[in-house]
Structure 1
Amino acid sequence: MISFVKEFRRINLIVQKYSYNKSYLLCLILSKIVFEVIELLPPLLYLVFIKNVIEEGNATYLKFVVIGYCCVFLAESLFKVLLQVIENKISCMFELKIQCKILESICRNPNSEFDTGELKQRVEDDVQQTVLYINDYTDYLVNLLGFGIVVLIMLKMSILFTMISLILIPISFLCTKYTNKKITNTQVLYREKYAEYEDFLFESLRSFREIKSNRLEQECTERFDSFWKALSGLFIRNHIYWFLNRGFIAFKDVFLTKMALFFIGGIMVIQKIISVSILLVFMDYYEKLTEYILSMTDLNAQLVKRQVSIKKVQEFLEKEHNTTKSCCLNGNIVLKHVSHKYENEMVIEDCSFTIKEHSYTAIVGASGEGKSTIARIILGIEPIAEGKIIVGNTNINNYDRYYSRKNMGAVLQNSGLFNVSIRENLLFGNPNATEQQIWDACKNAQIAELILALPEKLDTLIGEKGIKLSGGQKQRLLLARVFLQKNSYLILDEAVSALDSNTEHVVMKNIIENNQHQTLLIISHKLSSIIDADDIILFHDHKVVTRGTHKQLIANSTLYKQLWETQIGGKKNDC
């Protein structure tokens, strides 16, 4: 059986953390209790009918029995509708709130902890299972209360007969312990495998053009089949345990015990220990008792299975955000002994440098040196493994990253566009932007002429991830979007890498001229695009090896000079 105290604490945590409306929950439980009590009244009316009308021949009671049955029917119908309304309202309200809270928690924490499939499962499946868990838990409590009421009624009829009927009940729960454990283990394996499958499916659908171009259709089909073979096996195994559990209880409680009770009850009637009316009504209540046992057994199995999901949801609740919601970030960005690694591979090692406020800083170096990781760490997309980042005079970990990112505009290498119109994509940067501001941003990003040439102009749909645009057009649209934000800090990671030289030159000039009051950080492998930077930081072997202006580095850094000459073909006069 489940631990009532432990599960109550778990549900209470969710109720408090997710602003679950306790009055609705209390109303739901009370309605279920009243409904169960009403359902227990018909056997008592049946007892009155047999004892007073049939056995004693008193027709006066017949009127009360008929009126009683009519009242019970009306009350049952009314509370059934009420229960459905309350349950639906609570489920919808709670599911919406918990999904919003989880999405908010995802935004405030580095998202490298989970893959796409697992995040989707958290937001959709685990939330639904948590809602069902609370409903099942309330049903379990109500069934347990109903069980207690029925036992009291049966004891009132005959203590001896009740004790005989209750002897085998504890065995039911002992025998289900093994199957419940198997159900839990199977459910954990199923969830893990299904998360892998969803991640694979998402990546396959997103990259179907690459799959076709590399002739990987057969490999994807085989992998898809392997996932479903594994999932089917786990699904069938889970249901086998459930049916074994249910079948054993049904056979023992419904067949063997009921047959034995009729035999014992018949003997007790013959010996005049109980009357025929008591036996008939007693067996009616015992049937109700059996229903409660079967229901609690099923609910217990469901609660055990859903504990896997509710524990996953609980992980988000236990992540406290002891941070300030300040949205006024300003000052220098100071990295102190920052290190980071993916699995066992070091990508940044003991990096310390300062990005001065309102300055133009560039980070350069070969591919794989950790330049992009620096940007993601500053933005809070990646966690800080070692060291710290100070903004102004405050550790950036003391800021709520959700709010601190509102001060930071960024175009990263993997920044994406949405399958909506150009206008809607731009307004994601600033929903309150005017038409003039939109066109000014587009002009600065050198994409206004392209948009004007389109039949629908700003209302043109660009397809999933901007598939209808070229690489350079996507980058310019992303730049236009970030220009609309007017943030204190602007971080660009290879944001002009797909542009031709002339367009790149104009865009970079506009970035510098129009963002003089911003702290600008540009990451690039093309040195020609950052020669005007106030400070250039050179990465090598995952460390900062030198820094300075372009002219200083050409004069003092052999490594930088080699990179420069390699890229411009030895035209030293450009320096």
Structure 2
Amino acid sequence: MNYFKQILRFAKPYRIYAILNIISNIFYALFGTLAMVSLFPMLNVLFGKTDKVKIKPEWNGLLKVREYSEAYLNYYVTQKADQGNDDVLIFMVALVISMFFLKNIFSYLAMYFITFLRNGVLKDIRNELYKKTVDLPLSFFSEKRKGDTIARISTDVLEIQHSFLSILELIVREPLMILFTICAMLLISVKLTVFVFIFIPISGFLISLIGKRLKKHSDKVQKEQGFFLSIVEETLGGLKVIKGFNAEKIFNRKFKESTSRFYNYSNTLLNRQNLASPTSEFLGITVIAILLWYGGQMVLVEKSLDPGLFIVYMGLAYNILTPAKAISKASYGVKRGNAAAERVLEILNTSSPLQDKPDAQEKRDFNTDITLENISFKYEDEYVLDDFSLRVPKGSAIALVGQSGSGKSTIANLVTRFYDVNKGSIKIDNTDIRDLTKESLRGLMGLVTQDSILFNDSIKNNLLIGDEHATEEEIIDALKVANAWEFVKDLPKGIETNIGDSGNKLSGGQKQRLSIARAVLKNPPIMILDEATSALDTESERLVQSALENMMKNRTSIVIAHRLSTIQNSDLIVVMQKGKIIEKGRHEELIAKNGAYQRLVTLQSFD
């Protein structure tokens, strides 16, 4: 129940609906019991068993409530009977109909109020889960499948609604129904009710045996669902490669294997779950059958119980079956919900190592320099950067070059604080970036990556990520700086044109220029360019390079370069190897040294 308590906190904003639901359920349970009890005077009238009572009975305390109620009903029926038998029957029928009508009205109201609570909790859990997913560092998702995260936000949260939140309905209504019914049964016959209670614990024990392994099976189903959603996500993202390598059969096989496992796990889970209802019903009917025998003895042999009361008692006993079945099904729901809640809460309860400090500063300007002081960093076991130091003065363009795996892109990840350094510090204007809020730190920076990350939306909305309050004129100016206006103006709807999933309606060069335009629109003092031209053809590279030079004017830039032709005008070129600086200087100085940089230039000249 620990998971249930954690999920319950999402219900607090909707507690008014919970209170109204509880009130409605109290009346539902009350009128549900009275509906059955109201049959008794009706039966007595039909069987002619009603004793004529001419004097209004007096109240003699709770212990005599049954006798008082029976006497008062007989008195009332006697009064009506004096006016004619038709009036008595009409009154009795109206009484029974009224009880059942009120029971169903309150049943509807209870469901009406709980709907707002259930859907509100569902919405809030999803919102918090999405917010947490966005807030968690990149390292959290580096080994997780995207499909698994999607499954947690969609199907697992839905499972919580169907299982845990169903309990909120049952937690009041069904126990109250049982309580009121048992009170009525005790008033009719204590001896018969004690006999019933001998069999209820046995039934409960047998039902609980079925549900013991339910959580384990449910967990397998949800994990497998996350796995095949990941296959779908990867397939859609890599269709070109799959088709290009004729790998459809491989991915079809992987997907079929996953859905087969899902099929088997689901069958086991649902068959075990479906056993709950018939088992509880059979056990309930067994108790009813034993009651018929035992109660029949009391009516026919001992003559200690009125036949009409016995019929009402049997109705009340059957009345317990429905809530008992609902509670047994709910107990299975709790086990299923536990597995789903565990997966959802794994994300919600994960604390980000990159959280802002309580006294973190807001920084809105950049004045002197960025310094990397003796930093060391590792993703797993081996250090990618080891005792690395660098100073980037304001207004300068610093280029980082080197072979793949030398640690260039890691510096971009550390400066933007996607990861934190293991040793040393990174400072902006002599303030450690860990002492700044992430929002204000990243507000000072514009990022253009090798992969042009665009969204399935219009060009305008993709650029507004840089500055959501920008005007249309500012968007067009940014596109011009990025050399993108030349193709955007010719599109059917201009900046309102939808660019498709990941911008796939555009060429690589066009996508990259839109990424640059987005960074230009943000207008940050610091630009980080992570191999922004490495995936482009020569003509696109020339246009993008021109756009980058336009953007870098009067800005501090850290350029991670694969193509050395793009960084020859940098103020400082840093040559890296295995996380260390092996050379640094301007282009001409490094060429004159005839060292590692010269070798890289020579190798690229033959490309």
Q: TM-score interval w.r.t. the shorter chain? A: 0.7 to 0.9
How far residue 217 of structure 1 moved from its aligned partner, in angstroms, is: 1.2
Q: Is the 8 A contact 2:456 2:503 kept in 1?
A: yes
Counterpart CA distance in 2 for 1:472 and 1:189 is 44
- Matches of residues 490-505 of structure 1 in structure 2 within 5 Å? 490-499=527-536, 504=541
Any unmatched runs of 5+ in structure 2? 52-76, 81-87
Counterpart CA distance in 1 for 2:461 and 2:319 is 59
2:344 matched to which residue of 1?
313
How far residue 388 of structure 1 moved from its aligned partner, in angstroms, is: 5.1
SS of 2:118 mapped into structure 1: helix
1:44 matched to which residue of 2?
37
1:224 matched to which residue of 2?
255
Counterpart CA distance in 1 for 2:18 and 2:571 is 61
1:236 corresponds to which letter in structure 2? N
Q: Is the 8 A contact 1:535 1:548 kept in 2?
A: yes
2:149 is aligned with 1:119: yes
Any unmatched runs of 5+ in structure 1? 571-575
Q: Is the 8 A contact 2:32 2:100 kept in 1?
A: no
> What TM-score, normalized by structure 2, do the two folds share?
0.84
1:117 corresponds to which letter in structure 2? G
2:191 matched to which residue of 1?
160
1:56 corresponds to which letter in structure 2? T
How far residue 420 of structure 1 moved from its aligned partner, in angstroms, is: 2.9
2:568 is aligned with 1:538: no
2:455 is aligned with 1:412: no
How far residue 214 of structure 1 moved from its aligned partner, in angstroms, is: 0.7
Provide, for residues 287-317 of structure 1, a one-character-per-residue CA deviation record: whole Å limited to 9, x for no partner.
Answer: 1212222111100101110112222332344
Provide, for residues 475-497 of structure 1, a one-character-per-residue CA deviation record: whole Å limited to 9, x for no partner.
Answer: 11111122111224322211122
Residue 287 of structure 2, aligned match among 257, 275, 279: 257
Residue 9 of structure 2, aligned match among 8, 13, 34: 13
Q: Is the 8 A contact 2:364 2:444 kept in 1?
A: yes
How far residue 511 of structure 1 moved from its aligned partner, in angstroms, is: 3.7
Q: Is the 8 A contact 2:147 2:229 kept in 1?
A: yes
Q: Is the 8 A contact 2:426 2:433 kept in 1?
A: yes
Taking a change above 3 Å as real, the CA distance of residues 134 and 185 of structure 1, as seen in their structure-2 partners, is closer
Q: Is the 8 A contact 1:472 1:499 kept in 2?
A: yes
How far residue 510 of structure 1 moved from its aligned partner, in angstroms, is: 5.0
Taking a change above 3 Å as real, the CA distance of residues 462 and 482 of structure 1, as seen in their structure-2 partners, is same
RMSD, aligned α-carbons: 3.0
2:232 corresponds to which letter in structure 1? L
Counterpart CA distance in 1 for 2:426 and 2:30 is 62
2:363 is aligned with 1:328: yes
Counterpart CA distance in 1 for 2:383 and 2:31 is 67
Q: Which structure would you say has the larger Rg?
A: 2
Taking a change above 3 Å as real, the CA distance of residues 46 and 393 of structure 1, as seen in their structure-2 partners, is farther
Question: Which region of structure 1 is more displaced relative to structure 2, 83-92 or 166-175?
Answer: 83-92
Counterpart CA distance in 1 for 2:165 and 2:495 is 48
Counterpart CA distance in 2 for 1:200 and 1:506 is 37
Question: Which region of structure 1 is more displaced relative to structure 2, 539-548 or 279-288?
Answer: 539-548
2:123 is aligned with 1:88: no
> Equivalent pairs: percent with the same residue?
27
1:573 matched to which residue of 2?
none
Taking a change above 3 Å as real, the CA distance of residues 158 and 555 of structure 1, as seen in their structure-2 partners, is farther
Provide, for residues 61-93 of structure 1, a one-character-per-residue CA deviation record: whole Å limited to 9, x for no partner.
Answer: 645433333433443443344334323333333
2:50 corresponds to which letter in structure 1? E
- Matches of residues 419-430 of structure 1 in structure 2 within 5 Å? 419-430=456-467
Q: Is the 8 A contact 2:460 2:495 kept in 1?
A: yes
Taking a change above 3 Å as real, the CA distance of residues 502 and 269 of structure 1, as seen in their structure-2 partners, is closer
Counterpart CA distance in 2 for 1:117 and 1:384 is 29
Counterpart CA distance in 2 for 1:553 and 1:206 is 41
Counterpart CA distance in 2 for 1:241 and 1:253 is 19
Taking a change above 3 Å as real, the CA distance of residues 284 and 73 of structure 1, as seen in their structure-2 partners, is closer
Provide, for residues 414-464 of structure 1, a one-character-per-residue CA deviation record: whole Å limited to 9, x for no partner.
Answer: 342223332332233323222222222112111221223334333333322
Question: Which region of structure 1 is more displaced relative to structure 2, 317-326 or 48-57?
Answer: 317-326
Counterpart CA distance in 2 for 1:523 and 1:117 is 31
**How many residues of Structure 1 are paired with residues of Structure 2 in the alignment?**
562
Taking a change above 3 Å as real, the CA distance of residues 8 and 92 of structure 1, as seen in their structure-2 partners, is closer
1:31 matched to which residue of 2?
24
Q: Is the 8 A contact 1:359 1:519 kept in 2?
A: yes
Moved over 6 A (4+): none
